[in-house]
Amino acid sequence: MTDRITVDPLVCHGKPCIRGLRYPVENVLEWLASGMTIEEILADYEDLEREDILAALSYAARLTHVKRLDRLAA
């Protein structure tokens, strides 16, 4: 995944991106959440690869690995 997801302060304000391209991981996740299929994303963004989409999903899954969540007091 480290070759697919990159973080560079000079690209997209340091947000995690796909292979240094200006496709933030968050955009890929939003496209998938909106119902776009991997095939539709690849058709719309020809410089992306299937492995890029899967790396974005894997990256997001790893971010959700937490030991526990505590509620914040209001």
**What confidence score (pLDDT) does residue 67 get?**
73
What stretch of H or E contains 57? helix 50-63
**Cα–Cα distance measured from residue 23 to residue 12, given in angstroms and rounded to the nearest whole number:** 8
**Hey, what are 51's tokens?**
């492995």
Phi then psi for residue 5, to 5 deg, are -110, 120
pLDDT tens-digit readout, 25-74: 999 999 999 999 999 999 999 999 999 999 999 999 998 887 776 777 76
CB 52 within 8 A of CB 1: no
| Rounded distance between C-alpha atoms, residue 33 and residue 29, angstroms | 6
Residue 64: CB atoms within 10 A of its CB come to 6
More confident residue, 67 or 21: 21
For residue 74, the model assigns a pLDDT of 64
